[in-house]
Chain A
Amino acid sequence: MKRNALLINNARIIDPAGNVDEIGSILIKDGVIQQTGNNITESAPQVIDATGLVACPGFIDLHCHLREPGFEEKETVASGAAAASRSGFTTICCMPNTNPPLDNAAIIDYVNIIAARHSSRITILPVGCITKNREGKEITDMTELAGAGCAAFSDDGNPVSSSRIMALAMEKAAVIGLPVIDHCEDLELSRGGQMHDGWVAARLGLKGIPATAEESITARDIALAEMTGARLHITHVSTRGAVELIRIAKSKGLPVTADVTPHHLTLTDERVAGNPLSPGEALAYDTLAKVNPPLRTAADIAALVLGINDGTIDAIATDHAPHTLEDKLCEFEMAAFGISGFETAFGVLMTLVREGKISLNTLIARMTMGPSKILINKFGRTGSLKAASIADIALLDLNREWIVDKSNFLSKGKNTPFNGYRLKGMVVATIHRGEIAYRHS
């Protein structure tokens, strides 16, 4: 028997891809799932008793920032990988807004080389730029980037403003067969904006980022997807209007998918004005709640939840955006956008399950099967526990209560708006390609 055989016993196995929710065992050999169920007779040198735990496919994050190369003070591939792994993630896609940006094969190779050092723990898939230097002017050599192993194309926070360039890039992406990950923002409408353009922005005297800034580009790029046949993945959807546009696109059978972040599902723009953990304080101007797209309203959250439940939204992605203390400890208008999201993702999302807004199985589906379908098969059979799938597994303790303490983050980015939150539901182990990548001590 091979040394790396592993048996997980007595787990509540939830595998939305196989429509499974049952108590049983999982047998893993050579990094691949051999068998799942109640009638496993074989044993293995390593046995995990998962009584009381949920075993599900490892989480897949379509959107994170690892900051390397160029911004190693915010995060490195090593620190990001450790943070993601302890949070149940087994595959993560890192965005190309590094310095230099991931706009040529050499830089993709560089990230892949660093990522390979952590390959025992997590699979890191770089996302290549749509345009050179993310300037929206000249399209990258997308074929070469794909050859170097990028999983998708995106200019992320610098969305391509020119409709013509975007159309040309999507035509190329359609030929290559990789998705375009789209941060939808009309930079003209959002210019100078600091937070959602609503009553809290008016109250705080901050310039707003209107919902229409997201919706106009969402509509444009859906139209371009229809024209080019490219696979369009709309990331971090934040408004009700955008959810409706995506729903219509899907009903027409267009190759459009979408994800949403844990923070957009749980926090509103009011969080910028005050921390619920310290009520009665003066206006917070809380830079930890400064994120792009901005935290929206309760009505938007309701629409996002509906989108998760009816399948309009395929995936949950963290948009993990680590920053230094200095990036956030300043005037609101000077502060960086972004939330360090890996380590609170599952616990925060479980609040939605506990409130009855989404089911546990739907949550897991949107963190596993959903994103796995958006990545092409080249990157392995992930997102499922069916036999012959890659043995990427998260073990979850749904009843474990914990208090978010940013000082315990493995990410260098301590920029979380959830610090001090009492959460219920914790990742207790992560198995990547059959190896125990993380185990809670």
Chain B
Amino acid sequence: MSMRETKHPESGQGTLIPAAIESWKHKHVLDLDDFRREEIDLVFEIADGMAEILARDVKKVPTLRGKTIAIMFFEPSTRTRASFDLAAKYLGADTVSLDAARSSVAKGESLIDSLRTLQALEVDTIIIRHPCSGAPYLAARHLETNIINAGDGCHAHPSQGLLDIYTMRKHFGDLTGRKLVIVGDILHSRVAHSNIWGTRNFGMNVVLCAPPSLLPHGMKQWIENCGLHHISLEGNLDTALEGADAVMPLRLQKERQQSGLVSSIREYIRLYQVNNERLSRAKPGAIIMHPGPMNEGVEINHETAYGNKSLIERQVTNGVAIRMALLYLISGGKTR
């Protein structure tokens, strides 16, 4: 049906969505740990086509017409949710949004029961965000429906990882030898996790910079055991930033101070805030990314967030293209 090469009716040039994606093997998108480099390249290639669609006045294509996509969020989110919702709608799919707080989950229905109901309603893909690490894996194990992880606890956020790498790729071209510094709350960051996996086959150097209380105790051994040779740890931000090509501060949640993981916001700012003064240590062309939502004045200052090095808004736009690509590939995987 919609897996043919799509030519947009109002446009002379075809959107380059390949007809058959033989190399795509994923029934689910749970994390990037099981993505080969070619598969990420394929997502990017398709995202390029999607970006073209997004640049048009009329953004809607019929590629996923007749498909139903459920967006099931068990924790608050505005941007990721809107991004997936628009991605699905631009591709012509119908979406149904379930807000867990308002659905029967609040009545004590188990996650599997809720998801089975969705499956029985014949939805084609379930996009799930959940505060518990591993929840989408539980869904994938017990359901036939395609699952896309839109963020699970402190574990993974694969579409964010992809859009971050995509954003760097678009900006730099080849990423070989590029240095990315991820700063802040690595312990609770699913974004950091997915970037750790996603970047591993790009020849990049990724430096994680965090206070000891916000770095998992097993981090070093994880890196060793999984052969993640592109990852290194550096506690001092100024040292970490030396020669950096891209810098990604992570959101510092206020409750980290309440629980004592951060002794004071003032100290955190002094040691870990990304600002223009600090950025002088990075390469002149270094870019700034942030997964959002930002705590301006905490992990990043205002001038840096909105300065000419910032690609933060570009990330948001790219996010829609990446999610369109994932939805396209996942649905294509199913029809075969």
Question: Are these two chains actual partners, yes or no?
Answer: yes
A residues sitting closer than 8 Å to B (CB atoms) are 197-208, 210, 282-285, 326, 329-334
Q: Of the candidates B34, B153, B216, B226, which one forms a contact with A333 in the assembled complex, judged by CB atoms under 8 Å apart?
A: B153
Interface stretch of the complex, out of B10-18, B128-136, B266-274, B318-326: B128-136
Interface stretch of the complex, out of B217-225, B276-284, B299-307: B217-225
The yes or no answer to B155 lying at the interface (CB within 8 A) is yes
Other than the known A283-B33, A331-B130, what 13 A-B pairs have Cβ atoms closer than 8 Å?
Answer: A197-B218, A199-B222, A201-B216, A202-B221, A205-B134, A205-B190, A282-B28, A282-B140, A283-B30, A284-B137, A330-B138, A331-B111, A332-B134
Of B110, B137, B140, B190, the most chain A CB neighbours within 10 A belong to B137
Q: Which residues of A contact B217 (CB under 8 A)?
A: 197-198, 201-202, 208, 210
CA distance A411 to B23 in the complex (A): 47
Is A330 a contact partner of B110 (Cβ separation < 8 A)? yes
Q: Of the candidates A199, A285, A330, which one forms a contact with B133 in the assembled complex, judged by CB atoms under 8 Å apart?
A: A285
Given the contacts A204-B133, A204-B155, A331-B135, A198 and B218 also touching, CB distance less than 8 Å: yes
The yes or no answer to B154 lying at the interface (CB within 8 A) is yes
Of A203, A326, A333, the most chain B CB neighbours within 10 A belong to A203
Given the contacts A283-B137, A331-B111, A202 and B153 also touching, CB distance less than 8 Å: no
Complex interface bits, B27-48 against A, C-beta within 8 A gives 1, otherwise 0? 0101101100000000000000
The yes or no answer to B193 lying at the interface (CB within 8 A) is yes
The yes or no answer to B112 lying at the interface (CB within 8 A) is yes
**A to B CB contacts below 8 Å, 22 in the list:** A198-B221, A199-B219, A202-B217, A202-B218, A202-B219, A203-B222, A203-B226, A204-B155, A205-B134, A205-B193, A206-B153, A208-B218, A282-B28, A282-B140, A283-B137, A284-B137, A285-B133, A331-B138, A332-B132, A332-B133, A332-B134, A334-B132
CA distance A201 to B154 in the complex (A): 10
Q: Of the candidates A201, A204, A205, A282, which one forms a contact with B34 in the assembled complex, judged by CB atoms under 8 Å apart?
A: A282
Q: Which residues of A contact B133 (CB under 8 A)?
A: 204-206, 285, 332-333
Closest to A272 in B: B134
The yes or no answer to B156 lying at the interface (CB within 8 A) is yes
A247 CB to closest chain B CB (Å) equals 25
Q: Which residues of B contact A282 (CB under 8 A)?
A: 28, 30, 34, 137, 140-141
CA distance A326 to B155 in the complex (A): 23
Closest to A273 in B: B134
Closest to A205 in B: B155
The yes or no answer to B164 lying at the interface (CB within 8 A) is no
B64 CB to closest chain A CB (Å) equals 24
Closest to B133 in A: A205
Q: Which residues of B contact A208 (CB under 8 A)?
A: 216-218
Closest to A207 in B: B154
Q: Which residues of B contact A283 (CB under 8 A)?
A: 30-31, 33, 134, 137
CA distance A426 to B317 in the complex (A): 62
Chain B 91-142 residues near chain A, CB threshold 8 A: 110-112, 130, 132-135, 137-138, 140-141
Closest to A192 in B: B259
CA distance A94 to B110 in the complex (A): 31
Is B111 a contact partner of A330 (Cβ separation < 8 A)? yes
The yes or no answer to B85 lying at the interface (CB within 8 A) is no
Q: Which residues of B contact A204 (CB under 8 A)?
A: 133-134, 155
CA distance A198 to B225 in the complex (A): 11
CA distance A147 to B290 in the complex (A): 65
Closest to A333 in B: B132
Closest to A194 in B: B133
CA distance A103 to B217 in the complex (A): 38
CA distance A210 to B213 in the complex (A): 13
CA distance A373 to B133 in the complex (A): 44
The yes or no answer to B185 lying at the interface (CB within 8 A) is no
Q: Which residues of A contact B155 (CB under 8 A)?
A: 204-206
CA distance A282 to B154 in the complex (A): 17
The yes or no answer to B152 lying at the interface (CB within 8 A) is yes
Of A199, A208, A326, the most chain B CB neighbours within 10 A belong to A199
Q: Which residues of A contact B31 (CB under 8 A)?
A: 283
Q: Which residues of B contact A199 (CB under 8 A)?
A: 218-219, 221-222, 225
CA distance A330 to B217 in the complex (A): 26
CA distance A197 to B226 in the complex (A): 17
Closest to A208 in B: B217
CA distance A265 to B154 in the complex (A): 29
B254 CB to closest chain A CB (Å) equals 18
List 4 A-B pairs, minimum CB-CB distance, nearest first: A205-B155, A285-B134, A202-B216, A199-B218
A435 CB to closest chain B CB (Å) equals 44
CA distance A204 to B197 in the complex (A): 12
Chain B 175-224 residues near chain A, CB threshold 8 A: 190, 193, 216-219, 221-222
Q: Which residues of A contact B218 (CB under 8 A)?
A: 197-203, 208
Is A285 a contact partner of B138 (Cβ separation < 8 A)? yes
Closest to B226 in A: A203
Q: Which residues of A contact B30 (CB under 8 A)?
A: 282-283
CA distance A352 to B264 in the complex (A): 50
CA distance A330 to B132 in the complex (A): 10
Q: Of the candidates B28, B130, B154, B221, which one forms a contact with A206 in the assembled complex, judged by CB atoms under 8 Å apart?
A: B154
CA distance A7 to B111 in the complex (A): 56
Of A207, A285, A333, the most chain B CB neighbours within 10 A belong to A285
B17 CB to closest chain A CB (Å) equals 27
CA distance A283 to B149 in the complex (A): 13
